[in-house]
Amino acid sequence: MIREVNFDGIVGPSHNYAGLSLGNLASTRNAGEVSSPRAAALQGLDKMRANLALGLVQGLFVPPPRPNDAWLARLGTTIGEAQPMLTANAMSASTMWAANAATVSPAPDCADGKCHLTVANLRTMPHRTHEWPYTLAQLRIAFADSSFAVHDPVPTAFGDEGAANHMRFAPAHGQPGVEVFVYGLSGGAFPARQHLEASRAIARLHRLDPARTLFAEQSPDAIAAGAFHNDVVAVANERVLFAHEQAFADKERFYGELAKCLPDIEIVEVPAGEVPIGDAIRSYLFNSQLVTLPDGTMTLVAPTECRETPSVAAWIERHLASNGAIRRVEFVDVRQSMANGGGPACLRLRVACDPETVDPRFLVDAAKLDLLADVISRAWPEEIAIADLQSPELVAAVRAARAALLDALDLGELLSG
């Protein structure tokens, strides 16, 4: 009954390029550019359509209230009076990257037989610190069934950025697996966002078997190069680890521990000599969705930037010709998200569960995507310039757009939170 469901974050109507994420090179590079929220959200829906066409189960999460008036009130200000940087933080649409929503451990891995989810505290970046209460509210609705256990965030003394730093390996999604938590210690000029103690706490909360739980350090060089999350340089699916040569601090030890836990593990490592880490990060080769289709075909859902980066395109062609673990590559256009530092994998949270136990309002089919596309085409702003973030007209439009989306999904209980 267990299948992998990919829950994509709908790109919010306040999507903008404020350059708030230190260490995220794309976010910094495009700071101040004019964004296209409507096009961004429609690109996200098209990615969901493509996944449905592949035979995958697809879900969604909705954007939180923007601006975050409650957060601004705690700072003693309002959207009309706040300084520009506070305004940008309050209008952030970064919940679109659902890989940071939570860490998920499927039921076969947990001692109590429940699927556990711990919402991420996202304490490192100010614009993300105020996301978790709204994310938690959605998780508690979507996964209200008794087969799930939804946890509050770990204390903010320890930074946790969710599934972007977590991998799971198993013979199949419904079988017991090996869970890997990737943490950072140093990133040179950039912060290491995932703390080891946060990862250990989540493993305990999820009641994981210590013998099948691993902790691996992310390479400081990778963080310094712009891999602010592990999923920028590594992704896992069932028995396959797809990673850059420079992803881990002590890869030989990690690979050895992984092989002991899962002897039939298949490691697809991309050498730096073939794809420099800068090309890997710029193209987001590893921030692709690595999925298993209903016919068993291992498929990479990659951003179109991979096709346009010569070293990456050449590696993909060689791997497909070799009949390696990845047998198929599908390219998707998520350029608006990519320009802010999030590829196809950033946009989704993987939950291995029985889809029948999920609140159906959070699952989509083609008809629902058509409905959402109509709402977005009518209500989402076409463009947002940073100078306009405090505009009363824009603020009103953003609020009205979210309300229209929640009405279309019959999720009115989320209107104020």
CATH number assigned to the domain comprising residue 214: 3.75.10.20
Alpha-helical segments (H) within 91-212 = 126-129, 132-142, 196-205
Pairing of strands 234-237, 328-332: unpaired
Contact call for residues 355 and 363 (beta carbons, < 8 A): yes
Question: Which of 180, 190, 158, 332 has its CA nearest to residue 241?
Answer: 180
Establish whether 161 is a catalytic residue.
yes
Region label for 293, one of left (φ > 0), alpha (ψ between -120 and 50) or beta (otherwise): beta
DSSP letter (8 states) at residue 248: B
Contact call for residues 2 and 106 (beta carbons, < 8 A): yes
- Can you tell me whether residue 222 is helix, strand or coil? helix
| Alpha-carbon gap, residue 16 to 27, rounded angstroms | 10
| Alpha-carbon gap, residue 207 to 200, rounded angstroms | 11
| Alpha-carbon gap, residue 84 to 390, rounded angstroms | 8
Written as tens digits, the pLDDT of the chain (417 aa) is 899 999 999 999 999 999 887 777 777 888 889 999 999 999 999 999 999 999 999 999 999 999 999 999 999 999 999 999 999 999 999 999 999 999 999 999 999 999 999 999 999 999 999 999 999 999 999 999 999 999 999 999 999 999 999 999 999 999 999 999 999 988 777 888 899 999 999 999 999 999 999 999 999 999 999 888 999 999 999 999 999 999 999 999 999 999 999 999 999 999 999 999 999 999 999 999 999 999 999 999 999 999 999 999 999 999 999 999 999 999 999 999 999 889 999 999 999 999 999 999 999 999 999 999 999 999 999 999 999 999 999 999 999 999 999 999 999 999 986
Establish whether 346 is a catalytic residue.
yes
Q: And the tokens for 358?
A: 């999920």
Query: Tell me, what's the pLDDT at 416?
Result: 80
Query: Tell me, what's the pLDDT at 417?
Result: 67
Query: Tell me, what's the pLDDT at 331?
Result: 98
Which domain range does residue 397 map to?
3-414
| Alpha-carbon gap, residue 182 to 22, rounded angstroms | 19
| Alpha-carbon gap, residue 261 to 211, rounded angstroms | 8
Catalytic residue among 4, 161, 217, 238: 161
- Can you tell me whether residue 235 is helix, strand or coil? strand
Predicted TM-score (pTM) of this structure: 0.96
Domain total of the chain: 1
| Alpha-carbon gap, residue 307 to 284, rounded angstroms | 11
Catalytic residue among 110, 115, 306, 346: 346
Catalytic residue among 15, 166, 206, 229: 229
Contact call for residues 57 and 4 (beta carbons, < 8 A): yes
Q: And the tokens for 37?
A: 């929220």
